[in-house]
Structure 1
């Protein structure tokens, strides 16, 4: 007979797996890295917690583990960048779809925020969490969340204004006639 926690894992992955990957993708900016992060978070969560919680509780634990892994990784990468002489941008291919282009533009904008700002923006606006919920999930005060959100939104507004002034997309390519500049 299968253990209770194995049933919870199977149900969580079946029902909420793609939502967890989308959440991690918004944080990392890379779907492959996001899938790895979700896998690691599942292993870490169910390696410690075995029984006694439902799928909803398990999802909350996994989301917290994803956010913590993202922030820990961002700190490690930040330390590495200080000593690394080279920074390489990943090459992105254009699918030709305006909607995909807009999503990639927003994902690129999110990558330009600090890790805490990005985590706060994703949790608040993509995951539709309250400020208090974001604070609890990240283990910081509600005031700090508000400050990170304010700073991030100001940065995003500035990025959009600069793009409009230049009349180009975030990747530096001119917008074609089909894409509306708002």
Structure 2
């Protein structure tokens, strides 16, 4: 195994769980999230010699988010609705119920707004870092976050949104 292969393997071993969470939050479906992460890791591996080591995770996040947005657009054009959590995984507690309600509300956001919410509030990136990952301006991040939070507040209620988003890291 070459040094580059070892470095890539170590990165995947250390960050795969966190990146899978980003992918899941970006798309709202477990199987799709796994596919998004696999696609992102494949693209990263192909470009491993060109990716600066201090920017690997932001690079992979950007690939995940961009791929999720592209797929959502393609589905919208084709009018395909992704499958949600299978029925055999019925909710068993209030926390699980709340998580499902939140995921449904996130699925209802346009892909760009969902990406901003995931990166800002779950990944705890700054507005500047979020803009870098998404390849957009700081103003776009602020406006998309504002619109997304307004939609989530409408869908879930003010207290629910503040409680869930505020406790995203708990």
> TM-score w.r.t. structure 1 length?
0.78
Larger gyration radius, structure 1 or structure 2: 1
Q: Partner of 1:58 in structure 2? A: 56
**In the aligned structure 2, how far is the partner of 1:77 from the partner of 1:37?**
15
Alpha-carbon offset, residue 50 of structure 1: 2.6
Unaligned runs of 5+ in 1: 165-182
1:31 maps onto 2:22 in alignment: no
Find the partner of 2:110 among 108, 111, 114: 114
After superposition, the Cα gap between the structure-2 partners of 1:3 and 1:52, relative to the gap in structure 1 and judged at 3 Å, is: farther
Q: Partner of 1:174 in structure 2? A: none
Q: Partner of 1:142 in structure 2? A: 138
Asked if the contact 1:5–1:51 (Cα under 8 Å) also holds between the matched residues in 2, the reply is no
**In the aligned structure 1, how far is the partner of 2:46 from the partner of 2:144?**
32
Structure number with the bigger relative contact order (C-alpha 8 A, sep ≥ 6) is 2
Unaligned runs of 5+ in 2: 161-170
**In the aligned structure 1, how far is the partner of 2:109 from the partner of 2:18?**
22
> TM-score w.r.t. structure 2 length?
0.83
Indicate the RMSD between aligned Cα atoms, in angstroms: 2.1
